[in-house]
Chain A
């Protein structure tokens, strides 16, 4: 077997290293490996393979905290700390502005008389509940504070708002309950674990804005689907009018959001936080499309664990990471301008 086969096998082992490392070191390490190979050697020795894989894993661990600007863990948290409250406020405002209007044609003629001329789920009538108004105002305060870069005040406002939501859980639409819980949990951890919302504001670009708009649109459309597929609507109409369309639109918007986040190369930790934030929301959403199950309707410890364990674990990781000492900076530059002296 030729040396090129050995080279190919070494390259396969070097592929374990992070791309940034390989870009700088692959050819150099390959030259060393080939120079150290025995004459006629056909494949890497087990000790070499073990050494390279161990080195690759160690390098990956070491580079975790020293990614390029915009891809760091702390930056992802900072971005999330500023965008998640905005997303939640936008979703809540849309719950008021774009309600699900009940169909007039039902099997019960009494529906319009019983529910008024424009029966709807969500909408302006939410503003007749004082706890909802207080919660909405608190959300607005959180957004103002994170935009102003007031980390600790924002954290206090999140704690107060979470308390308000918990105290009035049955006066708040179910999907907003789930979304709010994960936003408050993760945004709180992100505020503690990141350099703060000022850093997030500095990193924020129009790309984040576009993904945010797609996410908010997805939340609103899926809320309409959730309302259209509610047991009550199915009871009075013997169907779930529009829910199939809303469901398809929700899935499409979720896919668009994910594709945009990937194509814009947004901070991967920011995207991870968004995904974990939406995980309980999606779990809550899915059973409604086809059954009467409701994960949050009876919030048993098991339900809450299934819904919020990932968010809780990620929040703990964010806080623990903030307590760890800072890692060394990015992989040292290998630029050199001088010829070898020996």
Chain B
């Protein structure tokens, strides 16, 4: 992946996979939950993102199974995927740490 700031959808997909391998529909529901219902991934967006992540070796296929006649393919993070997610989380956390005291000074809420 490029060193640019990560897109939110990519960040949430990586986050969904951080706890363990997931199949496509599991990622969609997990992302909705993580984002508090704000981000609703569609299949086209999810698989475009997964293809980019697979090409960048940030996720790998972790197996597949057939449930009720339908194919489920599972994905999991690679070590480099975990590393990238950790770096992005640290970057966002640093931004939050920088923003919160200034908001207090400005009389905003945190």
Interface residues of A (CB under 8 A from B): 25, 27-36, 47-48, 51-56, 58-59, 62, 328-329, 331-332, 334-336, 338-342
Q: In the complex, which residues of chain B have a beta carbon less than 8 angstroms from the beta carbon of A33?
A: 43
The docked-state distance in angstroms from the alpha carbon of A27 to that of B48 is: 15
Contact A31 B47 (CB under 8 A): no
Contact B43 A329 (CB under 8 A): no
| Interface 9-mer from B72-80, B83-91, B100-108 | B72-80
Additional pairs, 5, CB under 8 Å, beyond known A334-B61, A335-B61, A338-B63 = A29-B24, A30-B70, A59-B51, A341-B62, A342-B74
Contact B70 A27 (CB under 8 A): yes
Q: List 6 A–B pairs whose Cβ atoms lie within 8 Å, in order of A's numbering.
A: A32-B24, A48-B44, A331-B55, A340-B64, A341-B63, A342-B74
Q: In the complex, which residues of chain A have a beta carbon less than 8 angstroms from the beta carbon of B70?
A: 27, 30-31, 34-35
Q: In the complex, which residues of chain A have a beta carbon less than 8 angstroms from the beta carbon of B74?
A: 336, 340-342
Cβ contact of A336, chosen from B28, B46, B62, cutoff 8 A: B62
Interface digits, B48-61 against A, CB 8 Å rule (1 contact, 0 not)? 10010011100011
The docked-state distance in angstroms from the alpha carbon of A35 to that of B46 is: 14
Shortest Cβ distance from residue B76 to the other chain A in the assembled complex, whole angstroms? 7
Q: A30-B70, A31-B24, A31-B25 are in contact. Are A332 and B51 (CB under 8 A)?
A: yes
The docked-state distance in angstroms from the alpha carbon of A55 to that of B48 is: 6
Q: In the complex, which residues of chain B have a beta carbon less than 8 angstroms from the beta carbon of A339?
A: 63, 65
The total of interchain contacts (Cβ-Cβ below 8 angstroms) comes to: 94
The docked-state distance in angstroms from the alpha carbon of A286 to that of B57 is: 54
The docked-state distance in angstroms from the alpha carbon of A342 to that of B28 is: 16
Q: Chain B CB within 10 Å — which of A32, A34, A62 has the most?
A: A32
Q: In the complex, which residues of chain A have a beta carbon less than 8 angstroms from the beta carbon of B23?
A: 32, 340
Contact A55 B71 (CB under 8 A): no
Shortest Cβ distance from residue B79 to the other chain A in the assembled complex, whole angstroms? 15
* Shortest Cβ distance from B44 into A: residue: A55
Contact A28 B73 (CB under 8 A): yes
Shortest Cβ distance from residue A335 to the other chain B in the assembled complex, whole angstroms? 7
Q: Is B38's CB within 8 Å of the partner chain A? A: no
Q: In the complex, which residues of chain A have a beta carbon less than 8 angstroms from the beta carbon of B10?
A: none
Cβ contact of A340, chosen from B24, B55, B62, cutoff 8 A: B62
Query: How many chain B residues have a CB neighbour from A under 8 Å?
Result: 31
The docked-state distance in angstroms from the alpha carbon of A53 to that of B43 is: 11
* Shortest Cβ distance from B72 into A: residue: A31
Chain B interface secondary structure, helix, strand, loop or mixed? Answer: mixed
* Shortest Cβ distance from A32 into B: residue: B24
Contact A338 B43 (CB under 8 A): no
Cβ contact of B45, chosen from A31, A34, A55, cutoff 8 A: A55
* Shortest Cβ distance from B62 into A: residue: A340
* Shortest Cβ distance from A327 into B: residue: B55
Q: In the complex, which residues of chain B have a beta carbon less than 8 angstroms from the beta carbon of A340?
A: 21, 23, 62-65, 74
Shortest Cβ distance from residue A57 to the other chain B in the assembled complex, whole angstroms? 10
Q: A329-B55, A341-B21 are in contact. Are A51 and B42 (CB under 8 A)?
A: yes
Shortest Cβ distance from residue B23 to the other chain A in the assembled complex, whole angstroms? 8
Contact A29 B47 (CB under 8 A): yes
Contact A47 B42 (CB under 8 A): yes
The docked-state distance in angstroms from the alpha carbon of A135 to that of B44 is: 56
Contact A32 B28 (CB under 8 A): yes
The docked-state distance in angstroms from the alpha carbon of A62 to that of B46 is: 15
Contact B24 A51 (CB under 8 A): no
Q: In the complex, which residues of chain B have a beta carbon less than 8 angstroms from the beta carbon of A30?
A: 70
Shortest Cβ distance from residue B32 to the other chain A in the assembled complex, whole angstroms? 10
User: Which 7 pairs between the two chains have the least Cβ-Cβ distance?
Assistant: A55-B44, A31-B70, A332-B54, A51-B42, A342-B20, A336-B61, A51-B44
Q: Is B15's CB within 8 Å of the partner chain A? A: no
Cβ contact of A55, chosen from B22, B47, B61, B73, cutoff 8 A: B47
The docked-state distance in angstroms from the alpha carbon of A33 to that of B42 is: 8
Shortest Cβ distance from residue A15 to the other chain B in the assembled complex, whole angstroms? 13
* Shortest Cβ distance from B69 into A: residue: A31
The docked-state distance in angstroms from the alpha carbon of A263 to that of B85 is: 48
Shortest Cβ distance from residue A37 to the other chain B in the assembled complex, whole angstroms? 10
Contact B61 A31 (CB under 8 A): no
